[in-house]
Amino acid sequence: MSVIAVLALQGAFAEHEKMLDQLGAEHFEIRQLADIDRSFDGLIIPGGESTVQGKLLRDLGLFEPLNKLISGGLPIFGTCAGMILLADKLENDSEHYFSAMPMTVKRNAYGRQLGSFYTESEFAGSVIPMTFIRAPYIADIGGCEKLAEVDGKAAAARYKNCLAAAFHPELNEDLTVHKYFLDMVAGKV
């Protein structure tokens, strides 16, 4: 069985862990550099504040080792802020982080907290609930495979070992997206 690491510096990491528990997936938190020494098969970067997460990743010495693992093929799943950290380019910000997915993301594309919303749309062939909180969207899908679209904008994508979603699947009861990621880790999709 696969072991999933969850970046637990800031954001909705506990909610992702609950989803993994429901799927019977073994997991642990990455909070400091020593945690990376543990063996793991995939990594989840939760939603939260991308600039805070980026700063903490660098300040704690986690950025370079994680970047090396991601570029080496480690399966990774980023939601909301996690998607921003994975994008090659940000439309409204000069900062960039892992640059693991050849796509352009627009930060806070749906506005501030009051612009948050819930909808249902298709993800990889299944209609699922989607919660957007100060969400980005994919302004240019680039070389990525689009897995979900909401209001004409790409809301989830995959590129090689990377999966990204603008919405928060961990805030709903549906396990589809997390199961898809576990299937990616296992080489089934």
Q: Which residues are catalytic?
A: 80, 168, 170
Cβ within 8 Å of residue 2, ≥6 positions away: 25, 26, 41, 42, 182, 185, 186
CA distances from 151 to 121, 136, 138, 167, 188 (A): 10, 13, 12, 13, 30
What CA–CA distance (Å, rounded) separates 123 from 94?
29
What DSSP element (H or E) covers 158? strand 153-159
Cα–chain center distance at 86: 8
- Nearest alpha carbon to residue 78 among 1, 150, 144: 144
What CA–CA distance (Å, rounded) separates 55 from 108?
18
What CA–CA distance (Å, rounded) separates 175 from 92?
31
